[in-house]
Structure 1
Amino acid sequence: MTDAARIAVLSDIHGNLPALEAVLAEVESVGVDLLVLNGDLADGPFPVETLDLLHSLGDRAVWVRGNGDRWLVEAFDGVFRPTGGPADELIEWAAGMLSREHRDLLAAASLTVSFDDVPGLGSVGFCHATARDDNEMVLVDSTIDHFREAFAASEEETMVVGHCHMPFDRLFDRRRIVNAGSVGMPYGHTGASWALLGNQMTLRRTGYDADAAAELMSGTGMPDLRAFLDENICETPSDTEAMDVFSKVREKQLRARSS
């Protein structure tokens, strides 16, 4: 249950502090009662500054766990198992920047959060990827059966997710799934994506100065920074490119589950 009439959903910030600051400024201008931080918050160029800013939101913020947040906690604790992917070095670097307080903030985040009576929307659940797995890939073209299985553990009329960095809004078996997109690493468009709930669901996009952000990030020491800037700040992958990559990830995950 929540008394919040307006909820902002910020997902996949990935330590992009300039994008986060721009979104928070717009959030304040439209007026919200609650912010849901929907996972993958700090694994990027500004892990410490991002978590400090989010922590300053206090009780207005609800924290949801993403796979990147879990990996940062594991790396901080010395138990992270490398995935073999390009994010491994970044996870280790970012975790090395964190304090115990930062680690505990991420560790306390929930896999799912739900509210029973959001004005205009009814029951709404929030998770980073799916209700059963913080790293499961669902996309706008995923099958009804996949959605049913992935969200069988939840009963909310609407589920708000992130993870694939591409905003979408679709129905599955009389339920609604909305992807809020990514604040820090959007695919298919420029600007920072987020969602606003208030009598209806609105997918929002906030612009910010990408050149200034890139210059600021250039002094961070983030591993593989040039690629991050070229692919996520100065330019962004198209939705077609992202769908092609993530469809392969999804199929690999589904094969692993079926076996």
Structure 2
Amino acid sequence: MKIAIITDVHGNYPALKAALAEIDKVHVSHVYCLGDMIAIGPDSNQVLATLFNRKDVSMITGNHDEGVLALIKGQPHPMSHKDVERHHQWIAERLDPSFVEKLAVLPRVIETSLLGHSVLFTHYHIRQGKLNAPFYEDPLSPIVQPSLENMENLFKDCQQELICFGHHHPLHYFRGKHSLYLNPGSLGCASEPYAPYAIVTLTPKKIEINLRKAAYDNRNFLASYKRLNVPDGAFLIKAFHGNQSF
């Protein structure tokens, strides 16, 4: 059994298109998208249309998805995300209304069993007692640096054999004594024109991880930040796209 893991598309349609083109050639059973489909990049509607139109994709929400939804629904926006509130508002004003309720009913976690292996899909670790807390209460744990020790401490209350997540954009891939921790890296926010994702192969006896990067031409996408007057566009390109030229 093969599944694909993608996360943090962040409104980057060309990156998503490139990754899915490669994934479709592998003939996976399912694609799991681990949140932050929208915001940062300006292609939120194209990204959501692509993902919601596929029957083989399961999605969970991330902090940017929930931040945009909070503004659309007139709910409080957390102080922890004050620096991106103006950008979230820009995304909210341009989001196709048909996606609002579809996003609103997505879960924060998916817990399942695949060929006898227990699996957790989550955007990041959720603090104890905060699974159903409103977004303004900051349910996600603070980000820690990638290391096996940090992952084991962060997810110490999670007993699944495979724990897949996103949120922190660098690659995380660690095998501990009891769990395998996997974050393939942000698909839409990278310092090179590549879209990271992972193919997970499961058999009743083992789990194998194949980390991949889909190459794509990102010049028009990067130029769209200026063309569309995305708030703080120059900063976003520097902070989330390695200040690549276009």
Q: Which TM class, normalised by the smaller chain length? A: 0.7 to 0.9
* Residue of structure 2 in register with 1:226 after alignment: 234
Q: State the secondary structure of the residue aligned to 2:5.
A: strand
CA contact (8 A) 2:68 2:88 kept: yes
C-alpha separation in 2, matches of 1:67 and 1:226: 22
- Alpha-carbon deviation of 1:101? 2.5
> Aligned pairs, how many?
226
- Alpha-carbon deviation of 1:38? 0.3
* Residue of structure 1 in register with 2:121 after alignment: 126
Q: Write out aligned runs for 1:201-216 (5 A).
A: 201-216=209-224
C-alpha separation in 1, matches of 2:70 and 2:156: 25
Q: Write out aligned runs for 1:160-171 (5 A).
A: 160-171=164-175
* Superimposed CA distance per residue, residues 217-247 of structure 1 (whole angstroms, 9 cap, x where no aligned partner): 44333211222234434637xxxxxxxxxxx
CA contact (8 A) 1:72 1:103 kept: no
Letter aligned with residue 201 of structure 2: G
* Superimposed CA distance per residue, residues 22-45 of structure 1 (whole angstroms, 9 cap, x where no aligned partner): 111111122222111100111131
1:138 to 136, 144, 166: 144
User: Where do 5+ consecutive residues of structure 2 fail to align?
Assistant: 128-138, 203-207
* Residue of structure 2 in register with 1:147 after alignment: 152
Letter aligned with residue 137 of structure 1: I
User: Where do 5+ consecutive residues of structure 1 fail to align?
Assistant: 237-259
2:196 to 161, 180, 193: 193
- Alpha-carbon deviation of 1:71? 0.8
C-alpha separation in 2, matches of 1:176 and 1:12: 20
- Alpha-carbon deviation of 1:91? 0.8
Q: State the secondary structure of the residue aligned to 1:68.
A: helix
Q: State the secondary structure of the residue aligned to 2:229.
A: coil
Distance 1:159 1:84, change over 3 A: closer
**Greater displacement, 9-18 / 28-37:** 28-37
C-alpha separation in 1, matches of 2:115 and 2:193: 30
Letter aligned with residue 139 of structure 1: Q
Distance 1:37 1:99, change over 3 A: same
Distance 1:235 1:31, change over 3 A: farther
Q: Which has the higher helix share?
A: 1
Cα RMSD for the two superposed structures: 2.3
Q: Does 1:112 align with 2:109?
A: yes
TM-score by length of 1: 0.78
CA contact (8 A) 1:111 1:134 kept: no
TM-score by length of 2: 0.82
C-alpha separation in 2, matches of 1:125 and 1:228: 30
C-alpha separation in 1, matches of 2:142 and 2:124: 6
